[in-house]
Amino acid sequence: MPASVWALRHLLNLPRQALQVYEADNSGMNSKPREGSVVAPERRLKFLIAHNLNKFLSSRYLKTLNKQYLSLLVRDLDSLPIGDTWIDFPDLFVFIQRISFQASIKTLAGLELFNVYPDIIEDLILFQSYVPDMLYRMPRWLIPRAHRTRKRLLGGIRRWHEYASQQSDIHKVAPDDPDWEPLFGTKLIKARQIYARKIAEMTPEARAAEDLGLILRPRETSPTLHFGLYSKLVKTSVYAEVLRLYVASGIVRVVLHTDTDVAGYKIPKNSYLAMYSRSMAFDHTAWLRAGRQLGRPLHEFDPNRFLVDTTWKRPWHNNRGSEASQKTPAVPMETPDSSKMKQRFFMEGLLGLWIPYGGGDHVCPGRHFAKHEILMTFAAILSEFDIQLEHPKSKCTLPNMKYATFGALPPASKVPFRIRRRKAAALATA
């Protein structure tokens, strides 16, 4: 069973009948079904899911998502009960998690979900902390709270689906229809309802499980936090470096159709292939082979990791490699030494080494939105508030490896901090 379907069953409790639709779908993810597949077009679940995710999380829809996220985030930040005097908080991670989760879910799913289910953020945060236990199949009697929380989440999402469909037309996904509305949020949610309702086995329970999977993304908070800890270097290179160090994604594939060959190794049909983003992120030899000079060892944070001199060329490996590097010029960007602009942000040659978002057909469809969320959350919080860490050593907080292979790594310990509002502080002293 592919890893994503396995997670749908064991983490999100997708009903068995719906699972069978996934298992019977041998038509692939492309618009053209695989040869020999006789699956009816409306039951091509894998294609329908991938197609709609890629469509509604990119291009013009991405612009709407980004704009909506920023305005909702700023609105939520404005309403926080924080004035111009310092207040202590026990944990920066939890603080950012609540704020970014709320704005992100309102952006994707609209505002009505919060009216129907006011405790959704608390329940999502709680459930998220059980994700490793659930995926390691810890017995139910050891984690009853996780199961109760999941039940509440699935029930709440189902109630929201029902209410929003009564008040709004799920079919309004044409280019002229609004890209975002308060009842359903983005068109993506409506598009998912349209195709799922044509499949009898995709019952209201199954549709709730699917959408819980979409909104439960324990991923951006941790990069945003670590990004914040290196606050003076607001740059794309820092973003890439934070994801290299603090995301631990396990990327799993099943050889579904025929025996295959990977780098000279024979992989029989039905075998699992697993890649671990941190193995690649820390592979010293492979980074050197890609032509990167390692100013600092790979287990350390280096804000300049992804910058190269303007004259830098990727070492010649073969004709394809050298052609590719000539065709893809380094992207100029501000660097920590931006006054001289002698360096460029450059990812060429790191395709298999920097894989926090996975790769290939299943590469994370939310990666562009995630990047925006991380950069915007960080920028909005720092423009609105002054933040001081209680202990300077918090900057060296280690990641919690319990979450390894499930995406972003939260910090292993709390990061106490104090905070005050900037504008108010400025007004008060004026």
- Interacting residues with ligand HEM (CB under 6 A): 4, 50, 53, 57, 108, 214, 217, 219-220, 223, 247, 249, 251, 356-359, 362-366, 369-370, 407-408
Q: How far is the CB of 396 from ligand HEM (least distance, A)?
A: 22
Q: Which is nearer to ligand HEM, 54 or 322 (CB)?
A: 54
CB of 243 to ligand HEM, least distance (A): 6
Where is 109: in which H helix or E strand? helix 92-109
CA neighbor of 371 nearest in space, from 181, 100, 188: 100
CA–CA separation, 128 and 146 (whole Å): 9
| Minimum CB–partner distance for residue 408 and ligand HEM (Å) | 6
| Closest distance to ligand HEM from the beta carbon of 50 (Å) | 5
364 marked as binding residue: yes
Structure tokens at 387: 């933040």
| Residue 34 parent element (H or E) | none
Closer residue to ligand HEM (CB): 291 or 407: 407
- Cα gap 47→199, rounded to integer Å: 14
Whether the CB-CB separation of 363 and 50 falls below 8 Å is answered with no
- β-pairing verdict for 260-262 and 385-389: unpaired
How many other CB atoms are there within 10 angstroms of residue 107's CB atom? 23
Kindly write down the DSSP assignment for every residue of 211-267, as one continuous string: HHHHH--TTSHHHHHHHHHTTT--SHHHHHHHHHHHEEEEEEEE--SS-EEETTEEE
Kindly tell me which of 363 and 428 has the beta carbon lying closer to ligand HEM. 363
Nearest CB to ligand HEM, comparing residues 113 and 214: 214
Closest separation between CB of residue 93 and ligand HEM, Å?
14
Nearer to ligand HEM, 349 or 407 (CB): 407
Question: Rounded to an integer, what distance in angstroms lies between the CA atom of residue 110 and that of residue 105?
Answer: 7
- Pick the closer one to ligand HEM by CB: 13 or 107: 107
DSSP state of 336: T
Least Å distance, CB 309 to ligand HEM, is 29
Annotated binding site for heme: 364
